[in-house]
Chains A and B, each alone.
Chain A
């Protein structure tokens, strides 16, 4: 891609639980496509969206593909900022260790793994959203 290519800040806001609707999977697909075009992409998980990152998901009983392992590939797509809404997590009786650990690899430091997860308050989330060029809600 040429050096003067326009890079915009995209944030995808995930609000729904993973399997009741198609939103979570659709969001993930759009995220991967956007990131493949060298844009600056971040993800927010809020409301029931925090359930999307739950560890040990099993979908055999509902006959749907378990796509939760795909979130671990986000680091490969240079997505290094994952925001978790602190209040949403607390309201559901969850803690950060209930969620997947997502990392990205720093090529400049011999592929050292660095955490992509940021636990933020709603007030801070609102500020971060204001810094984006494009915010899409799913």
Chain B
């Protein structure tokens, strides 16, 4: 399967996750979000950028509990909670934000 954005083609799996992390760019992230009906703003990008940094450092997408804790540490306590993250990513913060970040689907979590 592939996703066409601005004339560029991205290979994705059946759930819409990028097949190759290295093909990711901000255009494809924006396009995925628009297709889900909610364009990205600065708050979304804070989480997406965090996930990309975390993956770069540890080679894994963090579980939602870890994501929540780390967001709280880096961006402030008012953002380090499930309510805030679920408002940004109603399909599940780790799952949906990982998709936009071009990361593999996290194992066994929302």
Contact = CB atoms under 8 A, between A and B. Distances in A.
B26 interface: no
Interface residues of B, number: 16
Nearest to A35: B63
Interface in B55-69: 57-60, 62-66, 69
B69 A76 contact: yes
B53 to A, nearest CB: 12
B47 to A, nearest CB: 16
Contacts of B108: 33, 36
Contacts of B69: 76, 107
B73 interface: yes
B63 A72 contact: no
A69 B107 contact: no
> Among the interface residues A29, A32, A65, A70, which one has the most CB atoms of the partner chain B within 10 A?
A32
B93 to A, nearest CB: 14
Interface of B is mostly: helix
Interface string A76-111: 110000000000000000000000000001010001
A36 B57 contact: no
Interface of A is mostly: helix
B63 A69 contact: no
A69 B70 contact: no
Contact of B58 (A35, A38, A72): A72
A77 B59 contact: no
Q: Which of A36, A66, A107 has the most CB of B within 10 A?
A: A36
A73 B73 contact: no
Contacts of B54: 73
A36 B63 contact: yes
A61 B85 CA distance: 40
B75 interface: no
Interface string A29-59: 1001101101000000000000000000000
A32 B59 contact: no
Given A32-B107, A33-B108, A72-B58, 10 more contacts: A33-B107, A67-B59, A70-B59, A70-B60, A73-B54, A73-B60, A73-B66, A76-B69, A107-B69, A111-B73
Interface of B: 54, 57-60, 62-66, 69-70, 73, 107-109
